[in-house]
Amino acid sequence: MQLIQILWDRRDFFLTCLLEHIRISLTAVVCAGVLGILTGVFISRHKKAAGIALGVINVVYTVPSISLLGFLIPFTGIGDKTAVIALTVYGLLPIVRNTYTGLVNVDAGILEVAEGLGADGKQILFGIRFPLAIPVIISGFRNMVVMIIAMGGIASFIGAGGLGAAIYRGITTYNMALTAAGSLLIALLALLSDWLLSRAEKAVNRRYGIG
Amino acid sequence: MDKAIEIRDCSAAYGENKVLNHVSLTVEKGEFVVIIGPSGCGKTTLLKMMNGLVIPLEGEVAVNGELIRGCDLSAMRRRIGYAVQGAGLFPHMTVEDNICYVPGLERRLTQEEKKILAEKMLELVQLPGEVGKRFPRQLSGGQKQRVGIARALAAAPDILLMDEPFGAVDEITRRGLQEELLALQRKTGITIVFITHDIGEAFHLGSRVLIMKEGEIWQEGKPEELQKAPRDEFVRSLIGR
């Protein structure tokens, strides 16, 4: 009850936070998505780079998120920019790994048939390899989006906006309801995004005759 | 007669493992050559040399009088049909898109062109036109195999390479496919190189049969010649005499 009360009473504040959160997450999703897919494609074609890239990304992933934010402050200062960078770095792991796994695990027999029929490298990548890897890539993308939205809550500890601001303010003022409301909105945003993406996933799979 | 495929003294290896040992072979235009032999004898490698999927360590391969070495492999392959066991259809494409794949590599086809071509090819392999809108997973084994052949023939190649194309279908379907293939060859005069492990199929289809063993062509000849004069115990046991 208290929760709904506070959400209603301070709806302008929460709306601002929510829009901020969406803006920061979306920026990070676009950055991590583009960078991650490109990296995944690149390392799927250069096996040596794959081990190194996946290793580095794995190590970065083990750094606690709060300290990653701390490390970035001397370089990029506080605020939204640093938050977007940190979220992008974290978001890379699932998307790079899934893009790579998806592309590498396409049935070698199918690829050889395409080559034997006269497809060149580009035609195989975009016409066969990529579409067949799409389900795996999308599931990595969904992972990434949920993670970025959830992690976005921490961003306000370094002065960025978003629903983390509500949580942070709730903690510092012993206002449990405020903290809970902020958390609830983050969870709902993450669930809603995941649901929307699952719809997109189904549509894509139908398009390719898989689902 | 003109030479469709010429393999001159070719060897191939996967790492340390030598799979073809100085093989030479000439396939004339319009021939139906069947290659048979135990697994690991190098028959698939030999076939893949003919469309450049395997590049020989030594020796030369020429297709329609043109050396494979240094030519535009992709462009050359588009003029050679290729069908494999289990059909190797692209699971994310409809039957129509599978059939139109090779012509589509050269230039973008309109929906109308695709439809006309797919219908024509489906008719050739005796499938109803409505199959074109389906996805490969919705087809039976025999239907898939037919689509695989339709795809191999869609760009009107003058050579067709087939690697155990009927290996994964039941006996009755296989008989039907064999007859259709023979009729097709009679009609179009296309050159066919066909791999099988079924000696009955080899003798039934081939105008010439090559028996391979341990990376070499062990014996070759017309089916009657092989039956009349098998070279040794190996050939005799293979042809069941």
Closest by CA position to A6, among listed A159, A178, A150, A204: A178
Give the pLDDT score at A97. 93
- Burial class of residue A132 (count of CB atoms within 10 Å of its CB; 0-12, 13-18, 19+): buried
What is the spatial distance between Cα B165 and Cα B183, in angstroms, rounded to a whole number? 16
- Write down the domain spans for chain A: 1-210
- Indicate if B164 and B125 belong to the same structural domain: yes
- CB hemisphere CA count around A5 (13 angstroms): 4
Residue B98 belongs to what H/E stretch?
helix B95-99
Instruction: Tell me the nearest-neighbour CA distance from A210 into chain B, angstroms.
Output: 7
State the smallest CA–CA distance between residue B91 and chain A in angstroms.
7
- Residue B109 contacts A where some CB pair is shorter than 8 Å: no
Comparing CB atoms, the residue among B51, B74, B93 nearest residue A119 is B74
Cα(A165)–Cα(A149) distance, integer angstroms: 14
**Chain A contact set for B88 (CB, 8 A):** 109-110, 112-113
* Chain A residues touching B76 at Cβ < 8 A: 118
CB pair distance less than 8 Å for A210 and B92 = yes
Residues of chain A found within 8 Å of residue B152, distances taken between Cβ atoms: 117
SS3 of B41, please? coil
Dist CA B117 CA A158 (whole Å): 62
Q: Say what the pLDDT of residue A27 is.
A: 95
Instruction: Give the residue numbers spanning the domain of B219.
Output: 1-70+197-240
Per residue in B84-108, pLDDT tens?
887 789 999 999 999 999 998 888 8
Task: Say yes or no: B70 contacts chain A, CB-CB below 8 A.
Answer: no
Rounded CA-CA distance B162/B83 in Å is 5
Residue B168 has pLDDT above 80, yes or no: no
Answer whether residue B149 shows pLDDT above 60.
Answer: yes
Question: Alpha helix (H) ranges present in chain A?
Answer: 2-9, 11-45, 47-62, 65-76, 80-104, 108-117, 121-124, 130-151, 164-172, 176-207
CB contact under 8 A, B53 and A116: yes
CA distance A197 to chain B (A): 20
Rounded Cα distance between A20 and A28, Å, is: 12
Please tell me the predicted confidence (pLDDT) of residue B1. 55
What residue ranges of chain A have pLDDT lower than 70?
A: 209-211
pTM (two decimals): 0.82
Predicted local confidence at residue B8, as pLDDT: 87
User: Average pLDDT of B202-210?
Assistant: 90
Q: Do β-strands B191-196 and B159-163 pair in parallel, antiparallel, or remain unpaired?
A: parallel
pLDDT of residue A37: 94
Interface size A-B, in CB pairs within 8 Å, comes to: 60
Query: How far is CA B227 from its chain centroid?
Result: 24
pLDDT attached to residue A206: 81
Residue A122 contacts B, CB cutoff 8 Å: no
Give whole-number Cα distances, B74 to A115, A124, B67, B78, in Å: 7, 11, 14, 6
The whole-number average pLDDT for the span B157-186 is 87
CATH number at residue B23: 3.40.50.300
Query: Based on the domain organization, do B159 and B93 belong to the same domain?
Result: yes
Return the percentage of chain A with pLDDT > 90, whole number: 53
Instruction: Give the residue from B157, B180, B155, B177 showing the smallest Cα distance to B168.
Output: B177
B86 CB neighbours in chain A (<8 A) are: 109
ipTM above 0.90, yes or no: no
Task: Please state, as a whole number, how many other Cβ atoms lie within 10 Å of the Cβ of residue A100.
Answer: 25
Residues B155 and B209 grouped into a single domain: no
Q: Six-digit token pair at A203?
A: 């549509």
pLDDT digits (tens, 9 = 90+) for B35-82: 998 888 888 998 998 988 888 888 888 888 888 888 888 888 998 999
The predicted pLDDT at position A36 comes to 95
Q: Closest-CA residue in chain B for A128?
A: B90
Of B77, B94, B135, the CB nearest to A117: B77
Determine contact: B151 vs chain A, CB below 8 A: yes
User: Do B80 and B130 lie in a common domain?
Assistant: yes
Residues B64, B86 share a domain: no
Interchain pair B105, A119: CB under 8 A: yes
B17 with B82, same domain? no
What is the total count of domains within chain B?
Answer: 2
At B173 the three-state DSSP class reads: helix
B135 close contact with A: CB closer than 8 A? yes
Fold for the domain defined by A1-210? MetI-like fold (1.10.3720)
Based on the domain organization, do B179 and B81 belong to the same domain? yes
Q: Which residues of A touch B91 (CB under 8 A)?
A: 110, 132, 208-210
